[in-house]
Structure 1
């Protein structure tokens, strides 16, 4: 049963879908956006009704050329509204890519991507190249064990294209 009061004014909250990717040395993949100071984890906002693992994979591919299947979450970070709307950020485990894959990162031109580039950064250097909240988010994700993403109560199968039926 649908309660119209619940749908009358849905909450406004963006869902950020980020990915923590490491190389064989344990360095963390970061992107350098032109719209903010410091480096950040690759990723971006989910579209309405887009499964967050697919949104994270879509943004990762668009920003770096990496095509990874994502299913596990390493951290959840709520950010209250400031100059942006409030948002909930999910950090997905992108695992460790090979040296070959790491060397083949493909960042689209800045005028299309809004990125200056992407690079792997040693974990101990994250506080030096990221804003404090961004570095703390990445450090927590590095320290945590992955938990599965559930889509409507079901464990996701990485490349699930839609939410399971109700």
Structure 2
């Protein structure tokens, strides 16, 4: 049964869908957006009713050319509203890749580039909160993503 009160004014919260991908040396794949200082994990916001693992995989492919099946979450990070809406960020386990990176032109992607960064250098190229999110994801144990109680395919 649908309660119209629950749908009358849904909460405003952006769902960030990010992918943590490493190369065989253990370096972390990061993108360099032109709209903020520092590197971030590849990913972006999910569209309404878009499953988060599909959003993360879509953004990863569009931003870096890396195609991955994402089914497990490494970290969940809530960020309160500041200059952006409040957001819930899910960091998915993108595993290890040897794929060549393909970053679209800046005018289409909003990215200055992408590269693998050694774990010890994350704090030098990322904002403190971004680096802390990655550090937590690197130490965490993956948990499966469920969609209506079933494991995401």
Give yes or no for TM over 0.5.
yes
Match of 1:80 in 2: 80
Distance in 1, Cα, partners of 2:48 & 2:148: 15
Match of 1:155 in 2: 151
TM-score calculated relative to the size of structure 2: 0.99
Distance in 2, Cα, partners of 1:62 & 1:13: 23
Distance in 2, Cα, partners of 1:116 & 1:2: 45
Structure 1: segments with no counterpart, 5+ residues: 158-166
Structure 2: segments with no counterpart, 5+ residues: none
- Give deviations 1:119-159, integer Å, cap 9, x for gaps: 000001101100000000000000011000000111111xx
Q: How many residues align?
A: 153
Distance in 1, Cα, partners of 2:87 & 2:26: 28
Q: Which runs of 4+ in 1 moved over 2 A?
A: none
Match of 1:145 in 2: 141
Provide the alpha-carbon RMSD of the alignment: 0.5
What is the Cα deviation at residue 34 of structure 1?
A: 0.2
Distance in 1, Cα, partners of 2:106 & 2:58: 18
TM-score calculated relative to the size of structure 1: 0.91
- Give deviations 1:74-103, integer Å, cap 9, x for gaps: 0000000000000000000000112xx1xx
Other structure's SS at 1:36 match: coil
**Pairing 1:59–2:59 present:** yes
